[in-house]
Structure formats: structure tokens, C-alpha cells
Amino acid sequence: MILSVSLSVLTMAAVIYYTYTPGVLNHLAPKRMPGLVIALVVSFLRVWATAAKFRVLSEKVISWMGAFRIVLTWDFTSAVTPSTIGGAPMATYAMTKEGLNLGESTAIILYSVLLDQIWFAIAIPILLISGIFFEVVPPAVGLIGEASMITLYVVLLSYASLLAYGVLVNPSAIKKVVKTVFKLPLLNRYQDKISSEAENLESYAHQLRKKPVSFLFKAFFYSTMSWLARIALPTIVILSLLPAPEILSILRSLAMNLAFLVIPTPGGSGGVEGLFVLFQGPLFFMSPSLIAESVRESFIGLALFLWRIISYYITIGFGMAATTWYVRQQVKEIQKKD
């Protein structure tokens, strides 16, 4: 957590240092400031939509309070671990503390991730088609950056296809992978326990497959709402400060969020801030305004700071409280056994 926060603070400090102009706060428009309240509401709606998705996938076995704890724990773990790892392992553990067995928890997490991947599979063609009409990828990225984005799209679509096959077509394939992994030297002592949980995973995955289409659409709806809230947040923060091209900002926010998935630092810190400046920074200069360009540049650092406070630092605060709640529960269980 210290590394993640330090990288974020240092990057923001560097951006603010190089873009700051004295008196920039005097140019804030009071009529735009309520947008920051809207940003906070949208941030809460993202958490609520994700919690609702878990409620649907667990068939309401998980309570609302438990669902919120799981989401906040997932967010916190994602914020302090490399983006390629994410918070799914901790969320799986959290679900076991909310009344589900490990196999059911794993199946729900896999199904949840699959819904996200389906959403990516829909979003990526939208970005590619929009790229014909808008500069979704900033010119500053260059050919290497564009090639990297296309490679990322291909990888995400390939992963979505494999996950869909494992969850919707052949759950036994996932069971075989899990059992194979736990035959490795450092993990084989858990092999017997994981074997039974792998059976539970396959069983629950089969149950999810048999659900009506309405079940899938309901869960997908909440997953979509969560992602739309996440994508809208940078745009709402920017428009709370200065006018900017709204559609282009949304499209670039979508591209940013896809790129966030492969940043190797804890929580994507450092890289996330850099991508915000790269993708959203130029938009401050694209709308007509009487404000001088040097002052507009200062709003880049201010927008970055406000966006990270709402999307990251508040998450760390609430997420730490939720995660430590599970730690306390585990400690109590150990004390009872002793």
C-alpha cells in the first residue's frame, strides 16, 4: 500500500509541479463545481452496481452489507497489488466469509470476470469504429502506442473467448487446470482440499450455465452499469473544471481503462496518472475558452488530483476498513479454535 500510494503521490506531484500556474483556483467556475458532487455519487453507484451483481450471481445468499464489503475489499486489494493480479483472489476469500464455499465463490468470481470480458468484447469494436471519426488514441502515443493498444485489444478478446469456453461451455476444463496447478511442489499439500473445492466449482458453474437468459442479462446489466460509472468519472471531473469535448473524453476514458489492466505497478499507480495526462490532458485545450493556455494547463494537474482522490484514495480508505473486518473475523475464528 505504501508503494502504491507513494508512486501515485510522486507522479501527481510531478504533474502539478510542471503544469501549475499561480492563481489557477481563481479561474474555477462556481456553476461547474456541483459536478464534483455528481462525481462522488457516480463513484458510489459503481460500488452499488458491482455489489448488486454479486447479489444476483449468489442468488441473494450474500447480503447487501456483505456485497458492499466484498466490492470494497476487491477494490482495496486491486489498489495495492499489480493490475495483472487484481483483487479477485481476496474477493473469493471474502465470499467464503459471507457464507459461500470456496468452489461457489470461485465460480461466481469467474462468472463476474467473464461478464467484464463480454463487456470488453463489446467495447473494443466501439473504440475501433470510433477511431475512424475521433482521435481516440492521442497523436502523442505514436505508432508504437497504437500498436500496443491493438495488441491489448487482441489479448483481451482472446482471454474473453477462453474464459467463456471454460465457464459457459466446458467447466470441467477449469477444474482440470486448478487440479494441475495444485500438483506443483509448493501447492501440493493443499491438493486434497482443493480437489473437493474444484468439484464444487464445476458443480456451481454448471448451475450458472443452466440459468435463464434473463439471469445473465440482469448480471450483465449491473456489470455494464459499474463500468459505465467508472468510465464516466474522469469526464465528469474534467467538466467540473473546464469545458471539454464530452464524447471524445468518454471514448478516451474507455481506452484508458482498458490500458489500466496491464500496468504492472501496484494499483497501476504512476502509470494510471501518466495515462490520464496523456489521454485527457490535451482535451483542456480543445474547447473555446477565454482562459489563457498556461492556466488551462494547470487544470490538468488539478483534475488529476481530484479524480484520483475520488476514484482511488477514498477507495483505499473504505476498502481498508472492509478488508480489516475480514481479518478480524479470521482472528476471532482462530482464537475460538485455540
- pTM comes to 0.85
pLDDT band with cut points at 50, 70 and 90 for residue 226:
very high
| Angle, CA of 262, 267 and 270, to the nearest 5° | 85
pLDDT band with cut points at 50, 70 and 90 for residue 330:
confident
Tell which residue, 67, 68, 87, 66, has the closest CA to residue 4: 87
Q: Count of CB atoms within 10 A of residue 212's CB?
A: 8
Q: Are 43 and 314 in contact (CB under 8 A)?
A: yes
Exposure class string for 177-192: b at 16+ Cβ within 10 A, else e: ebeeebeeeeeeeeee
Q: Which three cell numbers stand for residue 83?
A: 493490475
Q: Are 299 and 242 in contact (CB under 8 A)?
A: yes
- CA 112 to CA 238: how far, in whole Å? 30
Q: Give the mean model confidence (pLDDT) for residues 11-30.
A: 83
Q: pLDDT at position 268, please?
A: 82
Residue 163 has pLDDT above 80, yes or no: no
Task: Identify the weakest region by mean pLDDT among 1-5, 74-78, 191-195, 302-306.
Answer: 191-195
Q: Give the mean model confidence (pLDDT) for residues 174-196.
A: 67
pLDDT band with cut points at 50, 70 and 90 for residue 63:
very high
Q: pLDDT at position 87, please?
A: 77
Q: Give the mean model confidence (pLDDT) for residues 205-219.
A: 78
Q: pLDDT at position 24, please?
A: 75
Residue 228 has pLDDT above 90, yes or no: yes
Average pLDDT, the chain: 83
Domain ranges of the chain: 2-337
- CA 4 to CA 269: how far, in whole Å? 6
Tell which residue, 188, 219, 291, has the closest CA to residue 58: 219
Residue 275 has pLDDT above 70, yes or no: yes
pLDDT band with cut points at 50, 70 and 90 for residue 251:
very high
Tell which residue, 39, 170, 53, has the closest CA to residue 119: 53
Quickly list DSSP for 102-165. Answer: HHHHHHHHHHHHHHHHHHHHHHHHHHHHHHHHS--S-GGGHHHHHHHHHHHHHHHHHHHHHHHI
Q: Which three cell numbers stand for residue 2?
A: 505504501
Q: Count of CB atoms within 10 A of residue 122's CB?
A: 12
DSSP, res 189 = G
Q: Which three cell numbers stand for residue 192?
A: 486434497
Q: Are 42 and 236 in contact (CB under 8 A)?
A: yes
pLDDT band with cut points at 50, 70 and 90 for residue 3:
confident
Q: Count of CB atoms within 10 A of residue 129's CB?
A: 11
pLDDT band with cut points at 50, 70 and 90 for residue 45:
very high
- CA 15 to CA 205: how far, in whole Å? 46
